[in-house]
Amino acid sequence: MFYVRLFFHYWMQYLKIRMEYRSDFFVQLVTDLMFQGVNLVFIIVVFSHTADLSGWSREEVIFIYGYFLVPFSLFASFFNLWDFNERYIIKGELDRVLTRPAHSLFQVILETMTPESLSGGITGLLVMGWAGWKMGLELSWYDPLLFILFVLGGGAIYAGIYILLTSISLFSDSKTDIQPIMFNVGNYGRYPVDVYNKVIRTVLTWVIPFAFVGFYPASFFLNEERWMTLALLTPVVGLVWLYLGIKVWNWGIRNYRGAGN
């Protein structure tokens, strides 16, 4: 409860800061919308050239892509840990965080969140809606509920992996280039996994499970029987990775060496 209230307050403060630079805020909003629009056009143009992809129709591929954008936007809004090493370790902001009575990771997330990235999720929903409408997809009463669960699970997988990678900074402040690599690997989750060979498929499922962020749950809504079980595992995989990420983070905090003076 305390954390929910804290979240709310940080959110309000964030909005206030953004509103203070009002023109800036609107410019950003317009840019975001334009960016999402371009994104949308890009997706449709690219996919309209591929009739189908190893048994997947164009609409299905677009649907999966649109779905992927939703958990991804969740991740992009609340796990902006890109400059963690620079800002929190080298500049020493983590010292301040650690003298405050709330979980350190939670504070870092609240301080770095960019809720406007959620707009990507709206694009995703539009893309999904369009593709679903084209295919005449039908929804069951439980589909929206599962959708929320899957999106949270997918977001948690992304979050867990990135928290884990960010925690490396707590052990050593030297730069690592794993994050951008991982970011690229993450993109593989947006396409049907049966276009990849077996090794990559296994890696995307059991090692770095990005397939759970996009493909598996999306295929569930396309009424694909083949990956039904895997799709339903999404929230579980999400919990496992989030748990792992937080564990490693806590372990890292115990090893934290402080900002060098």
Partner 1 sequence: MRSIEAKGLTKDFKVYQSRSGLKGAFRDLLNRKYRMIRAVDHINLSIEQGEIVGYIGENGAGKSTTIKMLTGILEPTSGTLQVNGYDPHREREQFVRTIGVVFGQRSQLWWDIAVRESFRLLKKLYRIPDDSYRQHLDRLVEVLEIGSFLDQPVRKLSLGQRMRCELAAALLHRPRLLFLDEPTIGLDVLVKENIRHFLKQVNKEYGTTILLTTHDLSDIEALCSRVVMLDQGKIIYDGDLERLRSQWGDGRRLILELKDEISLSALNERSHGLALRWEGEGTRFVAHMENGTGVSDVLSRLVPAVTVREMKIEEATTEDIVRRIYREGITHHA
User: Side chain identity at 52, as an amino acid letter?
Assistant: D
Mark residues 9-48: x for contact with partner 1 by CB under 8 A, - for none: xx--x--xx--x----------------------------
Q: What is the 3-state secondary structure (H, E, C) of 101-143?
A: CCCHHHHHHHHHCCHHHHHHHHHHHHHHHHHHHHHCCCCCCCH
Closest to partner 1 by CB, 9 or 175? 9
DSSP 203: I
Nearest alpha carbon to residue 104 among 163, 55, 38, 179: 163
Closest to partner 1 by CB, 5 or 49? 5
Neighbours of 171 (CB within 10 A): 13
Closest to partner 1 by CB, 91 or 226? 91
Mark residues 163-182: x for contact with partner 1 by CB under 8 A, - for none: ---------x----------
Smallest gap, in angstroms, from Cβ of residue 235 to partner 1?
Answer: 28
100 binds partner 1 (CB under 8 A): yes
254 binds partner 1 (CB under 8 A): yes
96 binds partner 1 (CB under 8 A): yes
Q: What is the 3-state secondary structure (H, E, C) of 216-229?
A: HHHHHHCCCCCCHH
Q: How many helices (H) and strands (E) does the chain have?
A: 12, 2
Residues 75-94 within binding reach of partner 1 (CB under 8 A) = 92-93
Smallest gap, in angstroms, from Cβ of residue 257 to partner 1?
Answer: 6
Closest to partner 1 by CB, 6 or 53? 6
197 binds partner 1 (CB under 8 A): no
Closest to partner 1 by CB, 12 or 34? 12
Query: d(Cα 22, Cα 24) in Å, to the nearest integer?
Result: 5
Smallest gap, in angstroms, from Cβ of residue 147 to partner 1?
Answer: 32
Query: d(Cα 219, Cα 135) in Å, to the nearest integer?
Result: 13
